Structure formats: C-alpha cells, structure tokens
Amino acid sequence: MKVGIVGAGMVGSSAGYALALMGLVTEIVLIDHNHALAIAQAEDIAHAVPFMSSTVVNAGQWSDLAGAGIVILAAGVSQKPGETRLELLERNAAVFRAVLAQVLPVAPDAIFLIASNPVDIMTQITTRLSGLDPRRVIGSGTILDTARFRSLIGRHLGISPQSVHAYVLGEHGDSEVLAWSSARAGSVPLTSFAAQIGAPLTDTLRSQIDDGVRNAAYKIIHGKGSTYYGIGAGLARIVKAIVQDQRDVLSVSIATPEVAGIRDVALSIPRVVGAAGVLSDLFPDLSDDEHAALHRSATLLKERADAVTL
C-alpha cells in the first residue's frame, strides 16, 4: 500500500520514519509546501531503509498521491502572538480546506489520518470539509496518551505495558479522562492485580500517574521544543491496523453521533480499526465521576468545533 504524508515537519517525518523501519507499506510519499524540506526528509529516511525494510520513500507533488490507501495529514500553522485559539483554528481549517481540495481528486478512496493539533477538532473539521464517511477520517486522538498511561501503570506493577489494558478517553488535551475503573492487567482488574503483587494503587500514586500522562507533552516541550517520536509511532500503529486489517482496539478519534450525551462530536473512545477504517465503537464501563468528566470533555470539544467558521 502507498501512504501519503502531508506535512514533512517533525511529526510527519517521524511517522514516515517509523513506517519505513517497520516495513509496513510499499511506498511513502512526503509532501510539504516547502518542497526542499520534503526532499530532505525523504532522502534521510530512505537512507535508513536498507537496514530494516524495502519501503520506497520519496518526496512528491499532489499527483503522486494517486492510488494512496492512507493519507496522513500533519500540516498546519503555528499560533501567532496575540492570536486566539479560535483564530488559529480557522486558519488551520483554511489550510486543511486547501489540502483536501488537492488530495481528494487524486486519492478519493484513501483513509485520512489526522495528526495536526488540536487533533479532535481538526478531525471534526476534516470530516465536515471532506464530506467523507466519518469512519474514514481518523484522528490520532488519545492513542499516545493511552500509551503513556499503560507505560506508567506497567512501570509501577513491574509488567510489560502491552499486558496493561487501560484507555484515556475524550480530548487529546487537558480535559482527557483516564479510565481507571475499567483498567485491567492481563484479565484482572487493576486494583486487584496491584493488591495481589503488593503494589497498591494509592491515591498519591494515581495522582502521580495522572500528572505523568496529562502533562507529559508540556514536560517534553519544555525540554526540547516539541513532541514527535511518540506520536510518529502511534500513527504507524494505526496504519498497521489498517494495512493488515488487524481489527485492533485503539483509542482514536472520529466524529461520533453521540458520546456521553453530546451529539456529533469528535473525541476518543476505544474503537475497532481495520482495513475499512473504524469498524465499531466500544464504550467502556465508567464510574460516575469518569462519565461526568467525559461529558465535560465532549461538551468542550463540541463547543470549540462548532465555533469554527467553515
């Protein structure tokens, strides 16, 4: 399968690098308004390929996306001094409108993966602008937050994060919801597992893990300016589920008819992802507090998305 990546900055190039090393796809095409940057990133990634796979990596033009099965949208503009969040969103909506006008005619059957922040709102905007089935417009959502959550739990319990089944729901951002009540280690409820091995989940520990998940991006940005490796790998993981029709359960964001009493909102819940995109939605059992927090997160995202002029 051919994968297109629009936006050759750190997030787009990290996704391309992860995909190339995994050897998941036959071809990757990088496109950027700065074509020299796209060429440089493609060349650099291509030089790593012989060590790991046979994926072909090129910089291209819009026409080179013809036949792409997946297009990752990692483009966008940065916030200007004094600019409001809404003004930034409207400028990014204009960028996406221009990108979609170029991509849709040459890759009408592609599944779109949205990586640009704020990812939930940009997923909602892309769905509205494109007119595509929402299950073919997938935001990376809380896939990275979920990975952080599982990593910290696994570290505390002394087990692999892959044996932790826990999800972060709602917004990829400050209002996200860590679903403690439905978390499992193996097939055992998290609190029971922790008690059995003598590593209880105290309120203090839960607070520390919550902070480690919720504020991870801020800490990384403070140290090196931006985050990209984690989300690059997360995007590659979504691509893998689609390319191999794995029907994996992943916490990704799509425009959803109703969540926590809020209609037509893009946010993350666990979803089954396969060759056709999102195949089904899963609603985990939540405590009353978690359900209320998810309602607040959905309300916030709905209000922000509806305020954008398209």
Q: What value, to the nearest 5°, has the Cα angle with vertex 66 and ends 41 and 129?
A: 90
Place of tokens 């029971």: 192
Bridge partner residues of 271 (DSSP): 250, 281
Note if 295 is an active site residue: no
Secondary structure E strands in the chain: 2-6, 27-31, 56-59, 70-73, 111-114, 137-139, 164-165, 168-169, 177-178, 184-185, 188-189, 248-259, 262-274, 277-281
Quote the crossing angle between the two packed helices 10-22 and 229-243, to the nearest 10°.
50
Measure Cα distances from 115 to 10, 133, 234, 286 in Å: 11, 18, 10, 27
Q: How far is CA 7 from the centre of its chain?
A: 15
Name the token pair of 97.
């409108």
Instruction: Kindly name the residue from 165, 172, 222, 291 that is annotated as catalytic.
Output: 172
- Number of continuous H segments (helices) and E segments (strands) in the chain: 10, 14
Which residues belong to the active site? 172
